[in-house]
Amino acid sequence: MKLWRKPLDSDEKKPPQGRVHILIERCKGCGFCITYCPKDVLESSPDFNRRGYHPPVVVHPERCVNCGLCTIICAEFAIWTTPVEEPQPQPQT
Amino acid sequence: MITEQETHPLDDLLRVDRIPHIWCPTCGLGIVLNSFLTAVRESGIPREDIVVVSGIGCTGRAAGYVNLDSFHTTHGRALPFATGLKLGNPRLKVVVISGDGDLVAIGGNHLIHTARRNMDMTVVCVNNFNYAMTGGQFGPTTPKGARLTTAPYGSYEHPFNIPFLVDSCGATYVARWTVLHIRQLTESIKEALVHPGFSFIEVISPCPTVYGRRNQLGSGLDIVKYYRDNSIVRNDIDTRECEIEYQGKIIVGRFVQKRKPTYLETMNEYLRQSVGEGFVPYQGPMDDGD
């Protein structure tokens, strides 16, 4: 998403960061998560899983904002995201 | 050393030993199940209080995949079974997850009477416009013009408008979503779980293997893209206006939400008036271990 101006509080606040987990052997390669990821984090892997499907692979891990759409759109319960906690800045004494 | 717990957040609500399920790739049924389990998790209802009942068909397998009390009943008889279950123990949250063939075709009579009585239960009806598990026969929800195994030149019957059917019979919560409206669907199931009375949610789901292939609609991804481009959200409209035409616009939304006495409330109130003050309202089995 492109912003037409820089948010005033962009120094203090950052978008949340997520991490994608994939259970490769559960995937049936339907492609819902790849198509509907709003941040285009995923791509179809050239490799096969044990059942012959192409599971998704994370190509832009830094873009994930932990929106959880892939978690709820996955028909196979094979993908989910968890929040990544940013290290808190230490207060200066 | 960092060890990761590689289990899906919904794994405790699933019978993981039954996963992967039998549903085809790009079928919407897994999304409906995911949405239902997310709604159960977020609603905070204890899992001991929820019972899932299914009939026969592709959607009928849903009861076998949830790690809740669940019943896989005979064809079309999910609703009378669920009615008995609810009357046996009114404290249970009874949820019926079944397909259009099971609920509206062979179970059609049960559907109208369960809606008429305003039985306190939630029905998730997954509509994929055909009998998918038995090879793709056309059914009462097949849109006019859609080709299927038993309608090679296209179906010429007028299909059911299911929200209008259940609304006119007396359902007090009626909604329709496609599998792509996941967040709305999850919210709707959450609302329906706490709604007193007959709550009915129709979910339009792609069937790429039979319906999509027979009608050359492309893959499941293409069908879902068509849903995204052609669905219109219109809440609180007259349910007569939400007919589905073949490859036409799909009107989705929450159409009806009203409060009416449920079957047990009506029964207790009526009998209290007829029998008199000595009548003890039926609350279900007692907790004394009988």
Q: Which two tokens stand for residue B45?
A: 């209802």
Q: Please, which pLDDT band fits residue A83 given cuts at 50, 70 and 90?
A: very high
Q: Which two tokens stand for residue B84?
A: 């008995």
Residues in chain B: 290
With 50 as the cut, is the pLDDT of residue B2 above it?
A: no
Q: In B, which residues are within 8 Å of A53 by CB distance?
A: 25
Interface test with B, best of A21, A22, A23, A32 (most B CBs within 10 A): A32
Say what the pLDDT of residue B187 is. 96
With 80 as the cut, is the pLDDT of residue B4 above it?
A: no
Question: Rounded to an integer, what distance in angstroms lies between the CA atom of residue B83 and that of residue B90?
Answer: 10
Q: Does B140 touch chain A (CB under 8 A)?
A: no
With 90 as the cut, is the pLDDT of residue A91 above it?
A: no
**Cβ(B140)–Cβ(B105) below 8 Å:** yes
Mean pLDDT of chain B: 92
Looking at the complex, report in whole angstroms how far the Cα of residue A26 sits from the nearest Cα belonging to chain B.
Answer: 6
Q: Please, which pLDDT band fits residue A44 given cuts at 50, 70 and 90?
A: very high
With 90 as the cut, is the pLDDT of residue A93 above it?
A: no
- Asked which of B2-11, B56-65, B224-233 is least confident by mean pLDDT, the reply is B2-11
With 70 as the cut, is the pLDDT of residue B255 above it?
A: yes
Q: In A, which residues are within 8 Å of B180 by CB distance?
A: 36
Looking at the complex, report in whole angstroms how far the Cα of residue A81 sits from the nearest Cα belonging to chain B.
Answer: 9
Q: How crowded is residue B81: how many other Cβ atoms within 10 Å of its Cβ?
A: 19
Q: Which residues of B250-269 are buried (b: 16+ CB within 10 A; e: fewer)?
A: bbbbbbbbeeeebbbeeebe
Nearest CA in chain A to B5: A21
Computed on alpha carbons and rounded to an integer, the radius of gyration of chain A in Å comes to: 16
With 70 as the cut, is the pLDDT of residue B223 above it?
A: yes
User: What is the share, in percent, of chain B residues with pLDDT greater than 90?
Assistant: 90
Contact between B11 and A77 using a beta-carbon 8 Å cutoff = yes
Question: Rounded to an integer, what distance in angstroms lies between the CA atom of residue B61 and that of residue B80?
Answer: 18
- Per residue in B7-65, pLDDT (tens digit) is 899 999 999 999 899 999 999 999 999 999 999 999 999 999 999 999 999 999 999 99
With 50 as the cut, is the pLDDT of residue B1 above it?
A: no
With 50 as the cut, is the pLDDT of residue B3 above it?
A: no
Say what the pLDDT of residue A1 is. 66
Interface test with B, best of A28, A77, A79, A81 (most B CBs within 10 A): A77
- Per residue in B77-110, pLDDT (tens digit) is 999 999 999 999 999 999 999 999 999 999 999 9
Q: In B, which residues are within 8 Å of A78 by CB distance?
A: 8
Give the strands of the sheet with B69-72, arranged side by side. B69-72, B50-54, B93-99, B121-127, B198-204, B173-178, B250-257, B231-233
With 50 as the cut, is the pLDDT of residue B217 above it?
A: yes
Q: In A, which residues are within 8 Å of B35 by CB distance?
A: 72
Interface test with A, best of B13, B29, B34, B58 (most A CBs within 10 A): B34
Give the number of beta-carbon pairs within 8 Å between A and B. 62
Contact between A28 and B19 using a beta-carbon 8 Å cutoff = no
Q: In A, which residues are within 8 Å of B224 by CB distance?
A: 32
